């Protein structure tokens, strides 16, 4: 697996970026990770980095983005915070990743059995965690299909809140960052939400959270089709 160069990154579209992540997750699920020389990649990225994706995920120890998408050094920007919430610091990090460093896709990734979501469902209060969990409350309030037992003991409720939390996070990125919104609307970058099943390893993407996945104004359909297999072969 080759280290990403600036030229390789430039050839990646949001559509190709998503395919790369899907292929990586498929390898992870089948325990077929690509053989990489990480020390060589460390050396090759020591002067510059050209990640194709920025992934916001939870701090949960079972949800390392590089592992579940089978990516190497220099491939992805990884932002991690309990509950996969959005704040100004995270938006700024995403803006750097996409506008400055050239990443082509933003992934907002929740996961099953999320402890932060469970804590928010139970209205846990503990030090600074109280403020963080409060940011998940809008997702809890938006979930209206479960009437009884709206606590962490109800697995169905927790998973539904997790999905809504991801959907709301995607919307927040679009609403609160004019830089990212312009890039997404113009097809320079895509954004999508999804969830990682910590039991099976599978990442399920949510089609209703896909924005920015369309042909680039400067790339013909034929060009895009030709670039994709060539790039996939290099990676």
Report whether 58 belongs to an annotated binding site. Answer: yes
- Residue-averaged pLDDT of the chain: 91
pLDDT, position 89: 98
pLDDT at 50 over 80: yes
pLDDT, position 46: 85
The Cα–Cα gap between 182 and 177 comes to: 9
pLDDT, position 129: 97
What strands lie across the sheet with 190-196, from one edge to the other?
Answer: 76-80, 53-57, 105-111, 190-196, 203-211
- The answer to whether the beta carbons of residues 131 and 40 sit under 8 Å apart is no
The number of domains in the chain is: 1
Per-residue pLDDT reduced to its tens digit, 180-193: 999 999 999 999 99
> Who contacts 197 (Cβ-Cβ below 8 Å, separation ≥6)?
111, 112, 203, 204
Q: Is residue 150 one of the residues assigned to a domain?
A: no
Domain containing residue 76: CATH number: 3.40.1050.10
pLDDT, position 215: 53
Q: What is the pTM of this model?
A: 0.89
Report whether 98 belongs to an annotated binding site. Answer: no
Q: Is residue 140 one of the residues assigned to a domain?
A: no
Report whether 47 belongs to an annotated binding site. Answer: no
Whole domain around residue 218: which residue ranges?
Answer: 6-115+162-234
Q: Is residue 74 one of the residues assigned to a domain?
A: yes
The rounded percent of the chain whose pLDDT value lies above 70 is 91
* pLDDT-derived band at 93, boundaries 50, 70, 90: very high
Q: Is residue 83 one of the residues assigned to a domain?
A: yes
Report whether 123 belongs to an annotated binding site. Answer: no
């Amino acid at each position: 697996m080759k280290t990403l160069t600036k030229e390789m990154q430039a050839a990646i579209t949001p559509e190709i970026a998503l395919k790369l992540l899907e292929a990586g997750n498929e390898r992870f699920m089948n325990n077929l990770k690509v053989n990489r020389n990480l020390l060589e990649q460390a050396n090759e990225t020591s002067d510059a980095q050209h990640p194709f994706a920025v992934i916001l995920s939870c701090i949960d120890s079972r949800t390392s983005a590089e592992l579940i998408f089978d990516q190497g050094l220099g491939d992805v920007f990884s932002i991690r915070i309990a509950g996969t919430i959005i704040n100004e610091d995270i938006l700024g990090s995403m803006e750097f990743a996409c506008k400055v460093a050239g990443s082509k896709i933003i992934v907002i990734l929740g996961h099953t059995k999320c402890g932060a979501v469970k804590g928010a469902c139970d209205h846990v209060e503990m030090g600074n965690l109280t403020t963080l969990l409060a940011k998940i409350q809008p997702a809890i309030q938006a979930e209206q299909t479960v009437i009884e037992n709206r606590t962490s003991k109800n697995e169905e409720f927790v998973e539904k809140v997790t999905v809504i939390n991801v959907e709301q996070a995607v919307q927040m990125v679009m609403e609160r960052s004019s830089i990212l919104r312009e890039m997404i609307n113009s097809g320079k970058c895509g954004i999508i939400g999804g969830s990682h099943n910590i039991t099976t390893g599978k990442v399920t993407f949510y089609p209703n959270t896909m924005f920015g996945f369309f042909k680039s104004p400067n790339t013909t359909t034929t060009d895009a089709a030709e670039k994709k297999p060539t790039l996939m072969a290099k990676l």
